[in-house]
Structure 1
């Protein structure tokens, strides 16, 4: 067809995929000179207002999710021909449907990294109030990005937005791919929640492991009607080596009753990963041999016969680089590769450059003749771990393999430790982690220390009262939406999040200028929440407002708890903590309260208003309190040296002024 320009910017090249709502095209962004993917609404949908609304909702759903495992959207609009379009990142690779068609089924070890990446995408979607509703193999893409294989979730064309409000919808709707739909989704229930996607994820997992579906069409109809209890076909019946533990796993993952299933995609993925890890026996080190010589397998068996019999080594063979990449995908537990240089289809040097895309931890040992030293040198410069010379010497082979596998296992051990520390940092601020690790390494350090610090309590106003009638998932999502705004403002100015106490967060600021940085963080967090509430409306999670208390002075920090039972918490203690908490409880909506004594010590950039004396709880001693109103001048630079604008006006006020002058408050 003749090349067509969309909205004067995107030059269509060719159609690369099709779907119910429209076709996907390869296009050139003529302004940025990069290739993109464009989804154009199908012509038979153009006259349907419902279809056009659904198409726009897909763009909004994707745009809401800034996650590396969700396809990213660049633009949305309506072409001169009244055709809606979505511009997305262009991906190279294949979807899991194509992968399964080639491979027929995957090993549990190969499935684990795929499952965890999809779970991360779904977790991000569900936290943002988005239900995908059409998760299936064809909508999960294995993309090659920056030399790595990354899973991307695609096609949010049937997504439900603002999942917490779905119960208010009185019109039932059956949408999705039947073989992947949960019973409640097949029935078109109006209170559909994120667990419909968790069911679909379990079906995807089942298919990858067995190559088949867990339920027949007849069984799905029984599930839809709810006339009898139907369990999935045990996967061990289809693939005996999977074992009966996975039968129990899928009986839970695909239970007809919602309450009996996994509560989240992350929980399902974690449970499956744990089963694979614990069920993994002590195994031989797996070595991939890549060589087009037909007798190479016999050579390895002769040279290392004793080691193979004693289960020290297990060998996998490939005759060229292309076949080796596929073997590496099938065997993600390969630890070392012995690769020839001269092979058909894909030579050793090309293969060496592609290995990291599939398994970045595996190490390659190049095997070649003395006369090929030039290529050997190139291979070493490209990342080969070591080399062997043909004809292979037994002692040289054994020592080289031992050294390589020891190195790979140490790398994997270090990676596991890093992942565990990263997981810990999800629940504990990084600064606290380092102090806790120091305390563990040096037992005497748990005695504690006295430090000058500022403590901040930020409490979401009336959160418990206003969400009392909400479902647990709704309340947690609403609260976390506030913390997602508050915490970055605290951390970016050097604050350490000590703990979350119900609907409040407590942070500690240390070091030079700790009080000024703490107050700037409070002002900025309040401003950001006001801006979010203004843009999202009064019904949004950000409409509660916050009550903030701040105090500064000497406090005690250290590890408290029962060390002998392995339960410690690193925290701060003292009057400063108690006063900050009390001030937060005293504050009205969007008030920041501090002691009047402290307000008098601040520089002239902070404007405070005295509020008079208040009586501390449990005592008759009065405390004079001031309200921090705003900052007159530029803020103190953040701890990470990021320059932030002065905090003078709230965004709602700026938006009103811009609206009056015809400007967009969100423009830059």
Structure 2
């Protein structure tokens, strides 16, 4: 097949990689006389509409991203009925291959890799693109003339954060909840549950990559898919310091946030993630600041050491020196704890302005002071626009330099403090009803009674009692929590509040606009996700127990219930509505959703419902929720049959030296 022409202008030279749907070739652009990488779909996938649509989506996704940390696309087209993508040819290796060779990296060496990968993800997220298969095999370490650049590969399973009104039917089938795409070892809990994903799912995958690269271990290992799914959705992970005693508590706290099961508790953006990770690389002695001085004048190191000899002796400052931008970038990579850079503008090789534009890729927390000739306002203005914190003019006034360094260090300290700060203490909300926490935060006084319109949903893990009789106590709790880790986010994603856990059941409330519709959507989401997980994890998994659900709507009454005299109070909902929801749940069979008349009157135009007559001790009018109108019986477009065919527990075999994604399972 070598020397074959694609589209009449790309000559195939040699195959350099392969994936689940095709091959990567080194090629030659005969028009521009440059080497390129060509992604070709294998003949057995050409007939698949889904595969061709995914291929087309990848080309469109990469074409939107003009970022040095994303592989660049040159062309896309159809040749003899088969689609192709033409990309830049990269020299180097994927990060999976590197980790297999060296097992793990020190924190200071990992910071620039994670930072550059985060910048690539940030560019994708800014365009509304979620990668969904971010893993070491899709992170390429591209060798350049002066340094190594991280490139993100393989956008074949991206999710576009567009509204359903703007999306085509094929796009919805590719990325809708209910489909599992990607590599499970690096999947977020919401992705492995087949729920909706956003940029925070990519940040989870980036955190798994960083954890593995730092410790040499996966945070959630698993030899088979069912075990892995339960661990990702339910189990805690060993703190990194378990494997490396020299790692600080700050490192453990970083991963607690980055790998939080709840997406709301993770980092809010890739840039925030990168800044917090860079802050972990501080290895300064207490009170010591590290300063990088970049200047090609041979007497500068001697002048600096002479001027600051007292501060050096007292270990207030430590200085590192470089002669141009290229060597300065190398020093930044070697010293992840540099606080301030003092750089000249005019230097051989890489000048100060070019260097300034690259500093953030290596360490986003470093602040740079530019030194320029007096009156060179054009360069100074350019430097400030590129992110310089301050500037000095030659000849340098050393008193002014000391003041400027102190001011810059103060700013850097504030940045690092903010980056290290963990999210607001959530212990109270974790163990107390959110309704009570909201009451504590509100201005209303205790003792007041609230009345409001709302919907209550009771969700019971249907087969728990029968299946748990033979289980050890810790396994019983783990089984229950595995189900709750699916139920709780499904409720909160629809705007509901988990009011309390009652043994093996959850009581959730919905208020505000469309509260009935949102409650029913949440119920369908719970059922769909658990049934899909059971299909993938097996009938012996905790997800196969099923749920019975009761939904009731009407006037709600909430207030303080309990004994104030003995200090035992709960702030909860009482009355006919929660009682009706509990009765409906008790009457429901496995994977059945029953609702009262009030909910049915609201839902009948948007959902398929049928009247039922459950056997109860007292008369009970009930309606079964079957599906969304025009949807499937387990909720969600496409259902379990829309899952992707390829599931790779290992992350795929390492690839070659091109934009291949390292032989990822989906290309």
Q: Is 1:420 the equivalent of 2:423? A: yes
Partner of 2:240: 269
Give yes or no for contact 2:559–2:571 (8 Å, CA) kept in 1.
yes
Deviation at 1:377, TM superposition (A): 0.7
Q: Is 1:588 the equivalent of 2:559? A: no
Partner of 2:158: none
Deviation at 1:376, TM superposition (A): 1.0
CA 1:141–1:377: 2 relative to 1, 3 Å = same
Partner of 1:629: 625
Give yes or no for contact 1:287–1:316 (8 Å, CA) kept in 2.
yes
TM-score in terms of structure 1 length: 0.53
**What's the Cα RMSD here?**
6.7
Partner of 1:454: 455
- Which structure 2 residues correspond to residues 511-550 of structure 1 after superposition, within 5 A? 511-523=512-524, 525-526=526-527, 545-550=546-551
CA 1:444–1:332: 2 relative to 1, 3 Å = farther
Partner of 1:388: 392
SS in 1 for 2:301: helix
Alpha-carbon distance between aligned partners in 1 of 2:411 and 2:327, rounded to the nearest angstrom = 25
Cα deviation per residue 1:347-387 (whole Å; 9 max; x = unaligned)?
11111111121222222111111142211111111121111
Alpha-carbon distance between aligned partners in 2 of 1:307 and 1:652, rounded to the nearest angstrom = 69
Q: Is 1:307 the equivalent of 2:311? A: yes
Alpha-carbon distance between aligned partners in 1 of 2:569 and 2:36, rounded to the nearest angstrom = 51
Give yes or no for contact 2:587–2:616 (8 Å, CA) kept in 1.
no
Which of 609, 615, 632 is 1:650 aligned to?
A: 632
Give yes or no for contact 1:142–1:152 (8 Å, CA) kept in 2.
no
Alpha-carbon distance between aligned partners in 1 of 2:495 and 2:9, rounded to the nearest angstrom = 44
Q: Is 1:370 the equivalent of 2:382? A: no
Partner of 1:196: none
Alpha-carbon distance between aligned partners in 2 of 1:592 and 1:447, rounded to the nearest angstrom = 35
Partner of 1:554: 556
Give yes or no for contact 2:550–2:583 (8 Å, CA) kept in 1.
yes
Unaligned runs of 5+ in 2: 30-34, 43-50, 59-69, 118-133, 155-181, 186-208, 222-230, 251-282, 563-567, 642-667
Unaligned runs of 5+ in 1: 42-55, 64-70, 119-131, 155-159, 164-199, 208-248, 254-261, 561-567, 617-621, 632-645, 660-668
Cα deviation per residue 1:173-194 (whole Å; 9 max; x = unaligned)?
xxxxxxxxxxxxxxxxxxxxxx
Give yes or no for contact 2:13–2:28 (8 Å, CA) kept in 1.
no
Deviation at 1:388, TM superposition (A): 1.4
Which of 348, 352, 364 is 1:348 aligned to?
A: 352
Partner of 1:397: 401
Alpha-carbon distance between aligned partners in 2 of 1:540 and 1:555, rounded to the nearest angstrom = 38
Higher RCO structure, 1 or 2 (CA under 8 Å, sep 6+): 2
Alpha-carbon distance between aligned partners in 2 of 1:275 and 1:384, rounded to the nearest angstrom = 34
Deviation at 1:299, TM superposition (A): 2.4
More helix by share: 1
SS in 1 for 2:247: helix
Give yes or no for contact 1:26–1:38 (8 Å, CA) kept in 2.
no
SS in 1 for 2:291: strand
Alpha-carbon distance between aligned partners in 2 of 1:476 and 1:27, rounded to the nearest angstrom = 52
Alpha-carbon distance between aligned partners in 2 of 1:598 and 1:303, rounded to the nearest angstrom = 78
TM-score in terms of structure 2 length: 0.53
Give yes or no for contact 1:109–1:276 (8 Å, CA) kept in 2.
no
- The size of the alignment, in residue pairs, is 489
Partner of 1:665: none
SS in 2 for 1:420: coil
Deviation at 1:308, TM superposition (A): 2.5
Partner of 2:494: 493
Give yes or no for contact 2:293–2:341 (8 Å, CA) kept in 1.
yes
Partner of 1:508: 509
Give yes or no for contact 1:482–1:541 (8 Å, CA) kept in 2.
no
Give yes or no for contact 2:464–2:480 (8 Å, CA) kept in 1.
no
CA 1:531–1:343: 2 relative to 1, 3 Å = same
Give yes or no for contact 1:439–1:559 (8 Å, CA) kept in 2.
no
Partner of 1:234: none
CA 1:533–1:92: 2 relative to 1, 3 Å = farther
Cα deviation per residue 1:526-545 (whole Å; 9 max; x = unaligned)?
45666787899978987654
SS in 2 for 1:589: coil
Cα deviation per residue 1:461-507 (whole Å; 9 max; x = unaligned)?
425655888999999699858955x6665444322455677765554
CA 1:286–1:653: 2 relative to 1, 3 Å = closer
Alpha-carbon distance between aligned partners in 2 of 1:540 and 1:488, rounded to the nearest angstrom = 19
Give yes or no for contact 1:288–1:334 (8 Å, CA) kept in 2.
yes
Alpha-carbon distance between aligned partners in 2 of 1:535 and 1:97, rounded to the nearest angstrom = 26
SS in 2 for 1:297: helix
Q: Is 1:360 the equivalent of 2:342? A: no
SS in 2 for 1:293: coil
Alpha-carbon distance between aligned partners in 2 of 1:102 and 1:350, rounded to the nearest angstrom = 33
Partner of 2:333: 329
CA 1:319–1:113: 2 relative to 1, 3 Å = closer
Which of 316, 322, 342 is 1:318 aligned to?
A: 322
Partner of 2:25: 25
Partner of 1:294: 298
Cα deviation per residue 1:106-150 (whole Å; 9 max; x = unaligned)?
6444447879999xxxxxxxxxxxxx9xx9x99975579xxx976
Give yes or no for contact 1:595–1:623 (8 Å, CA) kept in 2.
no
Alpha-carbon distance between aligned partners in 1 of 2:86 and 2:633, rounded to the nearest angstrom = 29
Give yes or no for contact 2:142–2:150 (8 Å, CA) kept in 1.
yes
Deviation at 1:512, TM superposition (A): 2.6
Alpha-carbon distance between aligned partners in 1 of 2:604 and 2:18, rounded to the nearest angstrom = 62
CA 1:404–1:465: 2 relative to 1, 3 Å = farther
CA 1:25–1:525: 2 relative to 1, 3 Å = same
Give yes or no for contact 2:344–2:371 (8 Å, CA) kept in 1.
yes
CA 1:355–1:536: 2 relative to 1, 3 Å = same
Alpha-carbon distance between aligned partners in 1 of 2:115 and 2:468, rounded to the nearest angstrom = 31
Deviation at 1:415, TM superposition (A): 2.8
Alpha-carbon distance between aligned partners in 1 of 2:105 and 2:215, rounded to the nearest angstrom = 10
Deviation at 1:394, TM superposition (A): 2.5
Alpha-carbon distance between aligned partners in 1 of 2:113 and 2:430, rounded to the nearest angstrom = 27
Alpha-carbon distance between aligned partners in 2 of 1:87 and 1:503, rounded to the nearest angstrom = 54
Give yes or no for contact 1:534–1:652 (8 Å, CA) kept in 2.
no
Deviation at 1:307, TM superposition (A): 2.6
SS in 2 for 1:454: strand
